[in-house]
A and B are shown apart, each in its own frame.
Chain A
């Protein structure tokens, strides 16, 4: 089955800095890669996603890149703000499945 590794587990940055979270996956059949943000006391919320026919996708301050050859994808947050502090999860879904495999999560802390 699919295996998703996520790094780092904790990331601490100063406000205004960029943050990068990386995930690797094992199943070459995976073709959909969503990212979720989970704020304290809330459920994970989809913030951006990318499909395997696209190499990069941006939405304001966040972007996701995908390298299918190397089987890794990354979340980039620019100009971080304190409200970006949360736990971020990556996931991968195979074309033959509807069940995502989640990474273990990254706790992002943005210091004012």
Chain B
């Protein structure tokens, strides 16, 4: 199906573990983004990418790593999860003309 998909939808992990959140889009959009959403903070940009192999830090990048070896995939890795990274994570993509589409989100709980 065309669109942007995130996996998993829900994830519980332990403090200190590495966890990867997946994002896949089928439009061949150049731009992809990762946001976290927490009560009282709205949407905060973690990392973004303008094309394959081009990534850059957003507002809150500490503790996260991204890669973009293929245009359609933009995984987000928490190298050593902390409780403060408990959040809902959204991936988004854009063709660059303003249209911006979000995935359904991954709810991550770090215990």
Contact = CB atoms under 8 A, between A and B. Distances in A.
Contacts, number: 42
Contacts of B43: 44, 89, 102, 105
For this complex, into which size category does the number of interface residues on chain A fall? 20 to 34
B48 interface: yes
Interface in A52-105: 89, 91, 93, 98-100, 102-105
B98 A34 contact: yes
Contacts of A43: 90, 92, 102-105
Given A43-B102, A43-B103, A45-B102, A98 B96 contact: yes
Task: Assign chain B's interface to a size class.
Answer: 20 to 34
A44 B45 CA distance: 14
Contacts of B98: 32, 34, 49, 51, 93
Contact of B94 (A51, A89, A98): A98
Interface string B85-106: 0000010101010111111110
B42 A99 contact: no
A22 to B, nearest CB: 16
A44 B42 contact: no
B104 A34 contact: no
| Closest 5 pairs between A and B when the two form their complex, measured CB to CB | A43-B102, A104-B42, A32-B98, A102-B43, A44-B102
Contacts of B92: 43
B99 A98 contact: no
B74 interface: no
Contacts of A34: 98, 100
28 contacts: A34-B98, A34-B100, A41-B105, A42-B104, A43-B90, A43-B92, A43-B104, A44-B90, A44-B102, A45-B102, A46-B99, A46-B100, A46-B101, A51-B98, A89-B42, A98-B50, A98-B94, A98-B96, A99-B33, A99-B58, A100-B100, A102-B42, A102-B43, A103-B42, A104-B41, A104-B42, A105-B42, A105-B43
